[in-house]
């Protein structure tokens, strides 16, 4: 079972593809003030651990925030590390609010993956994407990785161009990066005609990666397509309903999944360009917790 926790919605950067640009002023205020306390985080995790019959994967990457700005982020990671039902957990970070003590702490976590977004290969390209003069801070933090052992790190190149330049420039300072992802991010556009839509062939993997906000609302996916941030269908609230009811076959969640199986999608899913096929093994694993999904395997 997979869930994404929206810990915090503040960020030091103003990336040109960030979903914040699609929010109104009032919506931005709501998101900026959204913060999941350690106590709320723990309550949510405990409920899912109790509900789950198999291991859980946790995504701690905020849709429009930076997880390492959270006051209790290391405490949160430690709590996940000690649970036998947590298979692994990860954060995608801009790597700005990092120091050596944090990296040493992360290196002791056996189930944690750190994914670092790279927004340019020099100060000019970095500013072009992020609108902030923080490239030197980023590079200095990358240099710290050279002395850190046993930390699983991946690079996510957030640019369609100069991937080789970025990689060669960064790798000089981080010889420990053995698992490197050079996947580019396609910039999003407000014009749907400019976005290449994938062919949707059934259940989307993202629909089984539910996103949970500090107030307990659970949305159908982790808002992979930033254009529709905050507009996804709410399938329930972790503090108001038992998870057994939220995930039963005749629930909002159940209807959406069965409709996707038959290639019928919500209006946001129809327009989303972040569709991902789900494998038989992934679906079978999820059916360990949500029994009726076995019918779709």
Q: What is the 3-state secondary structure (H, E, C) of the chain?
A: CEEEECCECCCCCCCCCCHHHHCCHHHHHHHHCCECCHHHHHHHHHHHHHHCCCCEEEECCCCCCCHHHCCCHHHHHHHHHCCCCEEEEEEEECCCCCCHHHHHHHHCCCCEEEEEEECCCCHHHHHHHHCCCCHHHHHHHHHHHHHCCCCEEEEEECCCCCHHHHHHHHHCCCCCCCCCECCCCCCCCCCHHHCCCCCCCCCEHHHHEEEECCCCEEECCCCCCHHHCCCCCEEEECCCCCHHHHCCCCCHHHHHHHHHHCCCCCHHHHHCCCCCECCHHHHHHHCCCCHHHHHHC
pLDDT of residue 256: 93
pLDDT, residue 145, reads 86
Q: What pLDDT does residue 200 have?
A: 86
- Residues written for the chain: 297
pLDDT of residue 286: 85
Distance CA 91, CA 79 (A): 15
**CA pair distance 236, 246, nearest whole angstrom:** 6
- Partners of 112 in the β-ladder: 89
User: Would you give per-residue pLDDT tens digits along the chain (297 residues)?
Assistant: 789 999 998 999 998 878 777 777 887 787 778 899 999 999 999 999 999 887 789 999 988 889 999 999 999 999 999 999 898 999 999 999 999 999 999 999 999 999 999 888 788 888 988 999 999 999 899 889 888 888 888 877 765 554 555 555 555 544 444 333 333 333 333 343 444 667 888 998 888 889 999 999 998 886 544 455 555 688 999 999 999 999 999 999 999 999 999 999 887 788 777 788 888 888 888 888 888 998 887
Q: Which two tokens stand for residue 74?
A: 């290391």
Distance CA 162, CA 136 (A): 18
Residue with tokens 């109104």: 24
Tokens 């991010």 map to which residue? 185
Q: What is the value of pTM for the model shown?
A: 0.85
């Amino acid at each position: 079972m997979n869930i994404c926790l929206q810990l915090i919605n503040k960020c030091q950067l103003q990336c040109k593809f960030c979903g914040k640009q699609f929010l109104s002023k009032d919506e931005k205020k709501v998101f900026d003030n959204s913060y999941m306390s350690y106590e709320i985080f723990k309550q949510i995790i405990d409920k899912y651990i109790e509900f789950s019959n198999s291991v859980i994967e946790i995504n701690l990457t905020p849709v429009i925030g930076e997880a390492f700005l959270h006051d209790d982020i290391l405490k949160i990671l430690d709590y996940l590390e000690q649970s036998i039902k947590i298979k692994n957990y990860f954060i995608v970070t801009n790597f700005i609010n990092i120091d050596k003590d944090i990296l040493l702490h992360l290196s002791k976590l056996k189930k944690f993956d750190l994914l670092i977004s790279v927004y340019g290969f020099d100060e000019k390209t970095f500013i072009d994407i992020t609108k902030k003069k923080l490239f030197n801070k980023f590079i200095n933090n990358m240099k710290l990785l050279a002395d850190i052992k046993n930390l699983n790190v991946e690079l996510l190149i957030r640019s369609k161009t100069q991937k080789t330049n970025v990689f060669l420039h960064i790798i000089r300072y981080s010889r420990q990066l053995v698992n490197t992802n050079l996947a580019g991010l396609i910039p999003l556009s407000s014009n749907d005609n400019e976005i290449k839509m994938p062919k949707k062939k059934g259940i989307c993997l993202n629909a089984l990666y539910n996103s949970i906000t500090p107030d307990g609302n659970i949305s159908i996916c982790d808002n992979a397509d930033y254009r529709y941030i905050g507009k996804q269908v709410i399938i329930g609230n972790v503090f108001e309903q038992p998870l057994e009811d939220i995930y039963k076959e005749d629930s909002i969640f159940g209807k959406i999944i069965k409709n996707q199986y038959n290639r019928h999608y919500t209006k946001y899913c129809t327009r989303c360009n972040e569709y991902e096929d789900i494998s038989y093994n992934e679906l079978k694993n999820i059916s360990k917790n949500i029994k009726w999904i076995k019918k779709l395997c």
